Amino acid sequence: MTDHEQHLRQRLGSTRLNLTRLTLGAVSGLLAGFASLAVAELVSAAVRPQAGPIVAVGGAAIDRTPAAVKDWAIRHFGTNDKLFLQLGILAVLALFALFLGCVALRFRRAGAAGVLLFGAVGAVAATSRPDSTGLSDALPSVAGALVGAAVLYVLVGRLTPRAPATEPAASPPETPPPGAGWDRRGFVLAATAAAAASAGAGALGRTLNGSSGRDAVASRNDLTLPRPASAAPAVPKGAQLRIPGVSPFTTPNGDFYRVDTALVVPKVDATTWKLRIHGTGVRRPLTLTFDDLLRRELIERDITLTCVSNEVGGPYVGNARWIGVRLADLLAECGVRPPSKGGPADQLVARSVDGMTIGSPVDDVMDGRDALLAIGMNGEPLPFTHGFPVRMVVPGLYGFVSACKWIKDIELTTFDSYDPYWVKRGWARRAPIKTESRIDTPKPFARPKTGTVMVAGVAWAQHRGIDKVEVRVDDGPWQRARLAAEDTRDTWRQWSLPWQATKGGHTLTVRATDRTGELQTEKRTHTIPDGASGWHSVVVTVD
Ligand X SMILES: Nc1nc2c(c(=O)[nH]1)N[C@H]1C(S)=C(S)[C@@H](COP(=O)(O)O)O[C@H]1N2
Q: Which residues of this chain interact with ligand X, rule CB under 6 A?
A: 256-261, 305, 307, 352, 354, 356, 386, 399-400, 403-406
Which position's Cβ is nearest Mo ion?
Answer: 307
Least separation, in Å, of the C-beta of 386 and ligand X?
A: 4
Least separation, in Å, of the C-beta of 348 and Mo ion?
A: 17
Amino acid (1-letter code) at residue 194: A
Query: By C-beta, is 305 or 471 nearer to ligand X?
Result: 305
153 binds Mo ion per the rule CB under 5 A: no
Q: Could you tell me if 58 and 90 are in contact, meaning their C-beta atoms sit under 8 angstroms apart?
A: no
Residues 508, 290: Cα–Cα separation, whole Å: 49
Consecutive H or E run containing 456: strand 451-460
Query: By C-beta, is 52 or 359 nearer to Mo ion?
Result: 359
Residues 223, 218: Cα–Cα separation, whole Å: 9
Least separation, in Å, of the C-beta of 270 and ligand X?
A: 16
Q: What does 535 interact with, of ligand X, Mo ion, none (CB < 5 to 8 A by kind)?
A: none
Q: What does 261 interact with, of Mo ion, ligand X, none (CB < 5 to 8 A by kind)?
A: ligand X
- Of 489, 467, 277, 251, the C-alpha closest to 370 is 489
Binding residue for Mo ion (CB under 5 A) from 205, 395, 399, 457? 399
How do strand 274-279 and strand 407-413 relate by DSSP bridges? parallel
Distances (CA, A) of 538 to 214, 334, 443, 525: 46, 50, 7, 18
400 binds Mo ion per the rule CB under 5 A: yes
Least separation, in Å, of the C-beta of 263 and Mo ion?
A: 17
Residues 6+ apart with CB under 8 A from 69: none
Query: By C-beta, is 335 or 426 nearer to ligand X?
Result: 426
Query: By C-beta, is 144 or 399 nearer to Mo ion?
Result: 399
DSSP result, 269-288: -TTT-EEEEEETT-SS-EEE
Q: What does 356 interact with, of Mo ion, ligand X, none (CB < 5 to 8 A by kind)?
A: ligand X
| 323-382 binders of Mo ion (CB under 5 A) | none
| 71-110 binders of Mo ion (CB under 5 A) | none
Query: By C-beta, is 338 or 432 nearer to Mo ion?
Result: 432
Q: What does 256 interact with, of Mo ion, ligand X, none (CB < 5 to 8 A by kind)?
A: ligand X
427 binds Mo ion per the rule CB under 5 A: no
Q: Could you tell me if 536 and 438 are in contact, meaning their C-beta atoms sit under 8 angstroms apart?
A: yes
Is the previous residue joined to 442 through a cis bond, with omega within 30 degrees of 0? Answer: yes
Residues 394, 403: Cα–Cα separation, whole Å: 7
Is the previous residue joined to 53 through a cis bond, with omega within 30 degrees of 0? Answer: no
Query: By C-beta, is 260 or 346 nearer to ligand X?
Result: 260
Residues 280, 430: Cα–Cα separation, whole Å: 19
Least separation, in Å, of the C-beta of 401 and Mo ion?
A: 9
Least separation, in Å, of the C-beta of 258 and Mo ion?
A: 10
Query: By C-beta, is 73 or 123 nearer to Mo ion?
Result: 73
Distances (CA, A) of 168 to 17, 18, 159, 459: 12, 13, 17, 79
Residues 313, 75: Cα–Cα separation, whole Å: 11
Length of the chain, in residues: 543
DSSP one-letter code for 200 = H
Query: By C-beta, is 34 or 400 nearer to Mo ion?
Result: 400
Q: What does 305 interact with, of ligand X, Mo ion, none (CB < 5 to 8 A by kind)?
A: ligand X
DSSP result, 114-181: HHHHHHHHHHHHHHTSTT--SGGGGHHHHHHHHHHHHHHHHHHHHHS-S-GGG-GGGS-TTS--TTTT
259 binds Mo ion per the rule CB under 5 A: yes
Query: By C-beta, is 259 or 459 nearer to ligand X?
Result: 259
Which position's Cβ is nearest ligand X?
Answer: 399
Q: What does 104 interact with, of ligand X, Mo ion, none (CB < 5 to 8 A by kind)?
A: none
| 449-488 binders of Mo ion (CB under 5 A) | none
Least separation, in Å, of the C-beta of 50 and ligand X?
A: 13
Least separation, in Å, of the C-beta of 248 and Mo ion?
A: 21
Query: By C-beta, is 109 or 526 nearer to ligand X?
Result: 526
- Of 341, 482, 462, the C-alpha closest to 397 is 462
Query: By C-beta, is 72 or 99 nearer to Mo ion?
Result: 72
Least separation, in Å, of the C-beta of 124 and Mo ion?
A: 29
Binding mask 186-205 for Mo ion (x = CB under 5 A): --------------------
Query: By C-beta, is 54 or 350 nearer to ligand X?
Result: 350
396 binds Mo ion per the rule CB under 5 A: no
Q: Could you tell me if 34 and 115 are in contact, meaning their C-beta atoms sit under 8 angstroms apart?
A: no
Q: Could you tell me if 458 and 245 are in contact, meaning their C-beta atoms sit under 8 angstroms apart?
A: no
Residues 71, 529: Cα–Cα separation, whole Å: 10
Binding residue for Mo ion (CB under 5 A) from 35, 138, 191, 307? 307
421 binds Mo ion per the rule CB under 5 A: no
Least separation, in Å, of the C-beta of 361 and ligand X?
A: 16
Q: Is 373 helix (H, G, I), strand (E, B) or coil?
A: strand
Binding residues vs Mo ion (CB under 5 A): 259, 307-308, 399-400
